[in-house]
A and B are shown apart, each in its own frame.
Chain A
């Protein structure tokens, strides 16, 4: 049980990577990347978890209680922002490719035209 959350993160990561490898559609690929990246949120948050600790928000606590690690939570926030920007750009590029070539299948996008 001690390593189960890490295992879940690894499993989600593998699912995303598998999807990206067999993907035949750029939009599907962007979704796979989102899945892959969400595994890093689980990994970061489960690394920072401490048994019997509260969230690192201490409003309303009279005596100082033990909190989970706040640094990985801040990192997760950065992670989510990066994920949003990457997916927005990939989707915009996919739209652009579809406008030019009429397809979002990477295999059919091989022939470049000026």
Chain B
């Protein structure tokens, strides 16, 4: 028997069981548009009067289920540590090697820098108003990190490397993860519950809404932005090494 046949024999019964489970599970769901989950409706009703935040999703992420978000942040942190352990130091390009990806078009370079600045600005805006309008630390963090990728695409690896140095990025990432836990522990030491909102709810619809939730928001934004930039750095460093190999080492 060849590999293809074995693969089919293993996959078919598993797919059959999965299909039955899927059909059974879907048939138990409420018809589309008629969901009446009590928890969600309750949170929609009480978030604004209780927490003074107009974005219910961000309030859930940082307040009602804040401890889950801490776990989520640590998952991201652990994954980035794993990627760095696997990739860092393995065939790092020297400055001489990467000279060939230099961008020679001035227009591309200027538009690239403008685009990167715009992405970072949008990211900061998403984070800052995360508790008011759609957005938040996770979304804004990714937008900020994407600005750095635009810089790589339009200005070359070397210019990008000037921004993304490991000795600057790694502490930022650690700070983001540690700040969330520190804020939680600090409230515990002060005698309040873990991640207690020590500033009070603030004023709804303004930058002060949510009180100390915005600190958690910014901690997550820092962690997510730094984690993404570290990931891009490691993968792009590998990619540049492969470019050097393809064109032949001279």
Contacts and interface: CB of A to CB of B under 8 A. Distances in A.
Contacts, number: 139
Grouping DSSP codes into helix (H, G, I), strand (E, B) and loop, the A interface class, with mixed when no group exceeds half, is helix
A55 B58 CA distance: 12
Interface of A: 1-7, 10, 13, 17, 21-22, 46-51, 55-60, 64, 66-74, 77-78, 80-82, 84-86, 88-89, 91-93, 95-96, 99, 107
A64 B29 contact: no
Most chain B beta carbons < 10 A, residue from A2, A73, A85: A85
A34 to B, nearest CB: 15
Nearest to A80: B138
B32 A5 contact: yes
B61 A77 contact: yes
Which range contains the number of B residues in contact with the other chain?
A: 35 or more
B34 interface: yes
Given A70-B60, A89-B82, A95-B86, A59 B205 contact: yes
Nearest 8 interchain pairs by C-beta: A69-B40, A85-B79, A2-B31, A59-B54, A56-B56, A51-B33, A70-B56, A74-B60
Interface stretch (B42-50, B96-104, B164-172, B177-185): B42-50
Given A21-B11, A92-B82, A56 B44 contact: yes
B60 A50 contact: no
Contacts of A86: 79
29 contacts: A2-B32, A3-B29, A3-B31, A3-B32, A4-B32, A6-B29, A17-B15, A17-B18, A21-B11, A47-B29, A47-B35, A48-B35, A50-B35, A56-B44, A56-B55, A59-B54, A60-B54, A64-B45, A66-B44, A69-B40, A72-B40, A74-B61, A78-B69, A80-B138, A81-B75, A84-B76, A85-B75, A92-B234, A107-B3
Contacts of A47: 29-30, 35
B114 interface: no
A5 B36 CA distance: 17
A67 B72 CA distance: 25
Interface string B123-145: 00000000011101010000000
A59 B55 contact: yes
A80 B139 CA distance: 10
B188 to A, nearest CB: 24
A42 to B, nearest CB: 11
Contacts of B76: 81, 84-85
B87 A96 contact: yes
A40 B181 CA distance: 29
Given A48-B37, A88-B79, A57 B133 contact: yes
B175 interface: no
A4 B75 CA distance: 33
